[in-house]
Amino acid sequence: MKVEAIKTGYFGKLREPGDVFEVPSGAKASWFTPVKGSKPAGGQQAPKEQAGDAKQA
């Protein structure tokens, strides 16, 4: 999921406030917040799988 750093922190490399980057779904930290309008990676994949299941049924 996409998150935005609200304070300086480290995730793979040093991130500064305002940096937008990807983290695994469910990752939490006090120095970043989910980007508005961004859905967790698992949430984006579920509808595709459901649509595929519906076509097969």
pLDDT tens digits for range 2-33? 999 999 999 999 999 999 999 999 999 999 99
Amino acid letter for position 48: K
Instruction: Tell which phi-psi region holds residue 41, choosing left (phi > 0), alpha (psi between -120 and 50) or beta.
Output: alpha
Q: Give all strands of the β-sheet with 32-34 in edge-to-edge order.
A: 20-22, 2-5, 32-34
pLDDT value for 54: 53
Q: What is the pLDDT of residue 23?
A: 96
Bigger pLDDT: 22 vs 47: 22
> Phi, psi (5° rounding) for residue 10?
-120, 125
pLDDT band at 48 (very low <50, low <70, confident <90, very high): very low
Residue 34, pLDDT score: 95
